[in-house]
């Protein structure tokens, strides 16, 4: 059983923990696909969704997951809360704790913010993305999607291309996939590759062809213009021509390779529309995997809270 109060990152998640989450998520996904949308696992529990950054997929899927599980949900957008009047994160957390919230799902622009919150509240904290650090539920939903198609993660060759430097998704995938025995290749302009990422287990490639050669999974990452103070490449057009993935580049991958992207996608920049809408694209399937993974996480953390 997952023995954690919080889910903050995959850096310290074991193979057994990841396998348990993915197995339950796979079950939950099948149940959703068969039309079940009402469960009682979190009846009487409150899940607060506290986002200090924009989101479409993560916020709505956590909320949907909590509702499917029977919880009461509360949505706080930082701009409309007392945070806008200068309240600190710790004080916001204390307020939510005083209201007997059971779970806080938080996205924050600062790396480490959910760790600070988790230390100060009794509620279980789920990291929905902290700065450039981690986005564990995204990597878990990516792994669920890969496992569904290939029946395994061990030995898969996963090519991650895009803005790796600013990406919490890349880091959580690197930690999770390496723990599960996959090979993780990365390719980006040198200005968008974190120094020493190879020491964390990534195979840093020097060309798209090298990264894609025989890859089972081709994962594009968004160019995060909002996190780049200075230009890291000359123009979006040049990025697309020299670093993006089009159908010609896709031909270097395994003929059965699947295409993933966490979204939101910059169409025509990191991936062409032909690749995004390709018959082997699982970008929409990833979204449903996201609801299932978040249901599994909430259920497992709740079981630990009640044990
Ligand atoms: N993948 C992801 O985190 O998307 P959102 O920013 O829409 O939540």
By most ligand atoms within 8 Å of CB, the mutation choice from 75, 106, 138, 291 for ligand 1 is 138
Q: For domain 15-134+287-306, give its CATH number from 3.40.47.10, 3.40.50.1370, 3.40.220.10, 3.20.20.70.
A: 3.40.50.1370
55 CA from centroid of ligand 1 (Å):
5
What class has domain 136-282?
alpha beta
Q: How many CB atoms lie within 10 A of CB 305?
A: 15
Q: CB-side exposure of 225: number of CA atoms within 13 Å?
A: 10
- Residue 83 sits at φ, ψ, to 5 deg, of -60, -35
Query: What lines the ligand 1 site, CB under 6 Å?
Result: 55-58, 129, 138, 262-264
pTM: 0.96
CA of 106 to the centre of ligand 1 (A): 13
CA of 280 to the centre of ligand 1 (A): 21
Three-class secondary structure assignment of the chain: CCCCCCECCCCCCCHHHHHHHHHHHHHHHHHHHCCCCCCCCCCCCEEEEEECCCCCHHHHHHHHHHHHCCCEEEEEEHHHCHHHHCCCHHHHHHHHHHCCCCEEEEEECCCCHHHHHHHHCCCEEEEEEECCCECHHHHHHHHHHHHHHHCCCCCCEEEEECCCCCCHHHHHHHHHHHHCCCEEEEECCHHHCCCCHHHHCCEECCCHHHHHCCCCEEEECCCCHHHCCCCCCCCHHHHHHHHCECHHHHCCCCCCCEEECCCCCCECCCECHHHHCCCCECHHHHHHHHHHHHHHHHHHHHHHHHC
Nearest CA to ligand 1 atom 6: 55
Atom of ligand 1 nearest to the CA of 53: 6
Domain boundaries, the chain: 15-134+287-306, 136-282
CA of 13 to the centre of ligand 1 (A): 22
**Which residues lie across from 105 on neighbouring strands?**
49, 126
Ligand 1 center from residue 307 Cα (angstroms): 32
| Ligand 1 atom nearest to 107, measured from its CA | 8
Atom of ligand 1 nearest to the CA of 138: 1
* pLDDT of res. 295: 98
The low-confidence residues of the chain, meaning pLDDT below 50, are none
- Centre of ligand 1 to C-alpha 47, Å, is 19
Domain pair 15-134+287-306 / 136-282, same fold: yes
- 248-298, pLDDT tens digit by residue? 999 999 999 999 999 999 999 999 999 999 999 999 999 999 999 999 999
**Model confidence over 214-237: pLDDT tens digits?**
999 999 999 887 766 567 787 888
Q: Are 199 and 171 in contact (CB under 8 A)?
A: no
Note the pLDDT of residue 230: 61
């Amino acid at each position: 059983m997952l023995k954690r109060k919080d889910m903050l990152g995959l850096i310290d998640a074991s193979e057994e923990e990841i396998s348990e989450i993915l197995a339950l998520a796979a079950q939950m996904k099948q149940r959703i696909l068969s039309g079940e949308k009402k469960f009682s696992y979190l009846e009487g529990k409150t899940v607060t969704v506290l986002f200090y950054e924009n989101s479409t997929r993560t916020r709505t899927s956590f909320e949907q997951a909590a509702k499917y599980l029977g919880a009461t949900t509360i949505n706080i957008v930082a701009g409309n809360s007392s945070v806008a009047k200068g309240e600190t994160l710790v004080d916001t957390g204390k307020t939510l704790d005083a209201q007997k919230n059971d779970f806080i799902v938080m996205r924050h622009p600062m790396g480490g913010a959910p760790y600070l919150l988790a230390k100060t509240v009794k509620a279980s904290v789920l990291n929905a993305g902290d700065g450039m650090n981690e986005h564990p539920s995204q990597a878990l939903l990516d792994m669920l999607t890969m496992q569904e198609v290939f029946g395994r993660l061990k030995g898969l060759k996963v090519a991650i291309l895009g803005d790796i430097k600013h990406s919490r998704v890349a880091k959580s995938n690197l930690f999770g996939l390496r723990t599960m025995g996959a090979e993780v290749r990365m390719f980006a302009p040198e200005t968008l590759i974190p120094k020493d990422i190879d020491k964390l287990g990534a195979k840093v490639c020097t060309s798209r062809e090298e990264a894609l050669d025989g890859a089972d999974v081709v994962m594009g990452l968004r160019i995060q213009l909002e996190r780049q103070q200075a230009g890291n490449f000359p123009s979006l057009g040049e990025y697309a021509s020299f670093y993006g993935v089009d159908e010609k580049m896709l031909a270097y991958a395994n003929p059965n390779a699947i295409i993933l992207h966490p979204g939101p996608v910059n169409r025509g920049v990191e991936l062409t529309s032909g690749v995004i809408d390709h018959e082997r694209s699982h970008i929409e399937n990833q979204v449903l995997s996201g609801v299932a993974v978040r249901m599994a996480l909430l259920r497992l953390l709740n079981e630990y809270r009640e044990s």
